[in-house]
Amino acid sequence: MTATVERIRKEASLLPYDERETLVRVLELDLDSTAPDDENSTEVEAAWDAEIDSRVKEIEEGKVELVSAEDAERRIRAKLAERRTSQTSAT
């Protein structure tokens, strides 16, 4: 890490949480907008487009079961609780 980056990091760490969060988001946007063109970016974007199309088709054809956000969250919390329980009993 250069001295400049270290100085900026230290100064940023003194900011309130919400301002640090804003700074991180702004820097991420800056990086995204100035990222060098990657030779694979077109291929990656095409692959994502194909994946999205495939998933939409599965939904339209009724091949997948959609669940509400609340149900998904409930299932995730149950799995996490189950995992914590199994990790606790393994130690």
Tally helices (H) and strands (E) across the chain: 4, 0
Q: What is the pLDDT of residue 60?
A: 95
Confidence of residue 39 (pLDDT cuts 50, 70, 90): low
Q: Is the model's pLDDT at 32 over the cut of 80?
A: no
Taking the CA atoms of 30, 3, 9 and 1 in sequence, report the sign of the dihedral they define.
positive
